[in-house]
């Protein structure tokens, strides 16, 4: 339980830089195509919503067995594809099944969205690289920090 709390602490820091865009958009506003495999901590999250409709979100690896994403991306069945650059070339052998853990105070209605955060526990660990992800620290400047 203590590890989960530490993980959530890291996640809260990451939320300051994690942009929760609409997961049903095809593009990220103001975004650009990244250099292939330059962000290995990013994952594609296809999920089955009601009516057997598949949608997609993205997230990031917090450690080898947990992914952070938005709670509104929760589906009936959830998978994670690590290391994807081109969705048209998905390798189904790389998909990892995931169990969702939604923030207990998540609220989504026509008036508000609160605590739109979810951890995905991967059924099997993924291999991590030594690439770093940048996160803010209390001074407001950026410095490289390893999350794993």
**Residue 148's pLDDT is what?**
42
Report the candidate in 5, 11, 125, 130 with the shortest Cα–Cα distance to residue 60: 11
- Domain 2-21+36-145 fold: Thrombin, subunit H (2.40.10)
**Residue 116's pLDDT is what?**
94
**Residue 138's pLDDT is what?**
52
How many whole angstroms separate alpha carbon 56 and alpha carbon 70? 11
Q: Which residue has the tokens 């990451």?
A: 14
Sorted by sequence, the CB contacts under 8 Å of residue 129 that are 6+ apart come out as 40
Largest CA distance in the chain: 47
pLDDT in tens, the chain (148 residues): 667 656 665 655 555 444 444 444 455 667 778 888 777 888 999 888 777 788 889 999 998 899 999 999 998 888 898 878 788 887 777 889 999 999 999 998 888 899 999 999 999 998 876 665 555 455 554 455 544 4
Its sign, for the CA torsion 35, 36, 37, 41, is positive
Give the global pTM.
0.67
DSSP string of 49-115, one letter each residue? ETTTEEEEEEEEEEETTEEEE-GGG--SEEEEEET-S-GGG--GGG-EEEEEEE-TT-EESSS-EE-
- Displacement of CA 2 from its chain's centroid (Å): 21
Count of all residues that appear for the chain in the document: 148
């Amino acid at each position: 339980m203590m590890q989960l709390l530490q993980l959530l602490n890291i996640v809260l820091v990451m939320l300051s830089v994690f942009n929760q865009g609409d997961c049903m958009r095809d593009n990220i506003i103001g975004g650009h195509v990244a250099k292939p495999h330059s962000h290995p901590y990013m994952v594609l999250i296809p999920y089955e919503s009601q009516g057997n409709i598949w949608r997609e979100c993205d997230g990031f690896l917090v450690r080898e067995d947990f992914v952070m994403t938005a709670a509104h991306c929760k589906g009936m069945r959830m998978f994670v594809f690590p290391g994807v650059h081109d969705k048209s070339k998905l390798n189904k052998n790389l998909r990892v099944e995931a169990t969702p853990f939604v923030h207990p105070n998540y609220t989504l209605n026509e008036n508000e969205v609160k605590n739109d955060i979810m951890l995905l526990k991967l059924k099997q660990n993924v291999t991590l690289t030594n690439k770093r992800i940048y996160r803010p620290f209390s001074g407001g400047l950026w410095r490289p920090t390893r999350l794993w």
